[in-house]
Structure formats: structure tokens, C-alpha cells
Amino acid sequence: MLVLGIESSCDETGLALYDTQQGLRAHALYSQVKMHEEYGGVVPELASRDHIRRAIPLLEQVFAESGARREDIDAIAYTQGPGLAGALLVGSSIACGLGLALDKPVLGVHHLEGHLLSPLLASDPPAFPFIALLVSGGHTQLMRVDGVGRYTMLGETLDDAAGEAFDKSAKLLGLGYPGGPAISRLAEFGDPDAYKLPRPMLHSKNLDFSFSGLKTAVLTVVKNHGDANLCEQDKANIARGFVDAIVDVLTAKCMNALKETGLKRLVIAGGVGANRQLRESLNAAAAKRRYKVYYPELEFCTDNGAMIAFAGAMRLQIDPTAAKKDYAFNVRPRWPLDSLAAP
Ligand code: KG4
Ligand code: ZN
């Protein structure tokens, strides 16, 4: 079965062709980061318009690279939500328009399910069940995953997402958007003992998170310095204090989730999963306890079309009727992951 995947929920346009026999046949991505950079964050209207510009050339690219013809596809999977409504509408209308023209069924995919299943695209995929830490720009959730669509929420952030904390703290340090990669690069040069920032909810009895206090702690340190007095080393020290704090909390909660459920496999998904310090910390903590950690390939940590094509294909393999010739492109900007039903 050949599935075309379309991702357009935020600021990346991703197209991909996933074949259940041959694996990923082609994928193409355009990131709008440069365009949003000058505004310090994603401007939804600009994002939608840019998806319109990029999607068709990327579509042509994946067909050309794979050698597949349009009529070879069996279904079209598109990100139905959650995400920016206008941006989602671009992907869904392209999916439905193409479906109608080619007489192929379409399937709306949950963006976070795409992230969650993306480590299964790697060469050493985890078996079910596993614990998943979803750490993206908008979400921080710990889930128990028993199969496709069989997700139990164990804990989530009460306020900011981890990626949001990275982005906001980076902005406070004048590092631009998106801040995650920039702040983690800077942290490499920081003194770990210069600033001990709070580790919110580290010792709470549940698996929930809270990161807005950590961002406020960064703000307080920056203010105490007075903006003009912040030299590069100060910034690196603050970055280090921030990264150490967030990595400690994420690592501890993952270990607690594994211990509480008795599971041995941990999957990390979403943009923050690309973070080097987080990976090192999780690997070390897991090795001590004989757990195994699985990550998506680096290129599939952040938003992409491959994970959407793959998640669609996984669902269709279990239930081939999940894709329908129903082209009323409904998007779901808010869509809780644990409300999904198993196929
Ligand atoms: O999953 P994703 O691409 O988009 C959403 O669905 O939100 O995640 C984007 C988030 C941003 O907040 C970005 O700063 C963060 O992932 N991120 C990172 C790194 N790469 C991306 N955070 C920390 N370290 C990184 N290397
Ligand atoms: Zn995402």
C-alpha cells in the first residue's frame, strides 16, 4: 500500500510517500523558520499562505524522487489537527482536492500520533507497549502506548510545553526563533554551577509538568543583570542552568513513568527530542535501570510529512476502511490525543 502524507499544521510543509512494503520512498520538507524569525514566532496567516506556495512543488518532488505515479497511491493521509486552523486547511484541502481528482480515499491524521509513531520509522523500532514522552512546541505529555490509537495519558504540562519554555527562554536571551537548538548550543559553553534554576514539580507525586516558573526564573536572572550587562558567558551560563533544569525534570518523570508502569521501553518524540543534552541524560538514566530509549531519526524529530504518511499507513494496515472518499475537509485545531480511538 502506498500512502501520500501531507503535514501543514504549523511552520513546516512536509510531503512524503510511504510504502508498507518498501518503507519510505521519498519525503520533502520546507521549513518556514526564516520567514517567521523576524517576528520572533510563527505568524499564522503567513504560515498558511506559505504552505499554499510550497505544497505543490514538494508534492511534485516526492513523486519525481520516488518514481511513483499519482495513480499508484492507495490513500492520502493529511494532518487534520491539532495545529493552526488556516495552516491545517491548506494541507487538508490539497489532500481532498487530490483525492477527488484521483478518486482516492483520504484520512485525517493526528499530528501527535505522527510524532508518537515516528520512532517506528527508524531501523531499530520499539515494540509495543512503551512509554512515550511527547515533547514538542505545543505539548509535553507522558503516554502509555499499547498499540496504534491505544494511548493512555499519564501526565502532561499544566502550563507551558517544554518546547515553548525553550523558545521563550531563548527569546529572553536574545537568541531568536526557534530557540531550542540555539539555547542548547549555547548551553554547551555554560558553567553548570553558575545558576541553579528551579526544577518545577520534580518531586510531585504525579507525572505532570510545569515549565512557566522556569521561564520566569530565566527572566528574573536576566533582569537582575540588566540587559546591557549580559555578556556571552553570562548568557551561556543562564542557558546551561535552564537546559540542566528542564533535562533533569524530563528525565526524572520518564524514569518514574517506567517504574510505575513496569514497562522497559521509552520512546521520545517531538522537536525537543532532538536535544542532545536530553538524549544524553535519558540514555544514562535508562542504562542504569536497564531500560531502552528509542528516538526518531533526527530529521523526523521535528515536523515532517513522513510521520504523517507513516501514521496513516499504520492505521490503514489495521483498518483499510479508515480512509474514505469523503472530501469535506474538516480540520481539528484542538484535538486531544487520548480521545483517539484504536483502528
Ligand atoms: O515537534 P515540533 O517540530 O513542532 C511542534 O509540533 O510543536 O517541535 C518544535 C519545538 C520548538 O519549540 C523547538 O524550539 C524545539 O521543538 N526544538 C528543540 C530542539 N530542536 C527543536 N528544543 C531543544 N533542543 C533542540 N535541539
Ligand atoms: Zn510537531
Least trusted range by pLDDT, from 226-235, 256-265, 318-327: 226-235
In this prediction, residues 66-92 reach a mean pLDDT of: 98
In the beta sheet, which residues pair with residue 26? 17
Residue 136 beta carbon below 6 angstroms from any ligand 1 atom: yes
Give the rounded percent of residues in the chain with a pLDDT score beyond 70. 99
**pLDDT over 90 for what percent of the chain?**
96
CATH number for the domain whose boundaries are 2-117+302-339 = 3.30.420.40
CA-to-CA dists, residue 176 to 140, 167, 191, angstroms: 22, 8, 22
Q: What mean pLDDT do residues 306-318 have?
A: 98
Return the pLDDT at 225. 87
Q: Is the CB of 82 under 6 A from ligand 1?
A: no
Average pLDDT value over all residues in the chain: 96
Which atom number of ligand 1 is nearest to the Cα of residue 274?
26
Alpha helix ranges (H) inside 149-304 = 162-172, 179-187, 212-225, 232-261, 276-289
Ligand 2 centroid to residue 225 C-alpha, Å: 34
pTM, whole model, 2 decimals? 0.95
Least Cα distance to 260 among 152, 184, 335 occurs for: 152
CATH 3.20.20.300: does it fit domain 125-295? Answer: no
Question: Is 134's pLDDT higher than 80?
Answer: yes
pLDDT digits (tens, 9 = 90+) for 159-201: 999 999 999 999 999 998 889 999 999 999 999 999 999 999 9
Asked whether 137 lines ligand 1 (CB < 6 A), one says: yes
Confidence tier at 226 by pLDDT (50, 70, 90): confident
What pLDDT, in 10s, does the model give residues 139-148?
Answer: 999 999 999 9
Is pLDDT of 294 > 70?
A: yes
- Decide: 126 and 120 in contact? Cβ < 8 Å: yes
Domain range annotation of the chain:
2-117+302-339, 125-295
Q: Mean pLDDT over residues 70-92, rounded?
A: 98
The string of DSSP letters for 132-186 reads EEEE-SS-EEEEEEEETTEEEEEEEBSSS-HHHHHHHHHHHTT--SSHHHHHHHH
| Nearest ligand for residue 167 CA | 1
Is the alpha carbon torsion for 109, 85, 272, 262 positive or negative?
negative
Do 143 and 131 touch, CB atoms closer than 8 A?
A: yes
Residue whose CA lies nearest to ligand 1 atom number 6: 136
Sheet with 292-294, strands from edge to edge, namely 150-156, 140-147, 130-135, 265-269, 292-294
Paired sense of beta strands 140-147 and 130-135, if any: antiparallel
Q: Is residue 126's pLDDT more than 70? A: yes
Domains 2-117+302-339 and 125-295 share a fold: yes
Q: Strand pairing of 106-110 and 140-147? A: unpaired
Res. 229: pLDDT tops 80: no
**In this model, does residue 123 exceed pLDDT 80?**
yes
Q: What is the pLDDT of residue 301?
A: 93
Instruction: Single out the residue of 87, 38, 98, 33 nearest to residue 63, CA to CA.
Output: 98
Any atom of ligand 1 within 6 Å of the Cβ of 270: yes
pLDDT on residue 120: 96
- pLDDT surpasses 80 at 296: yes
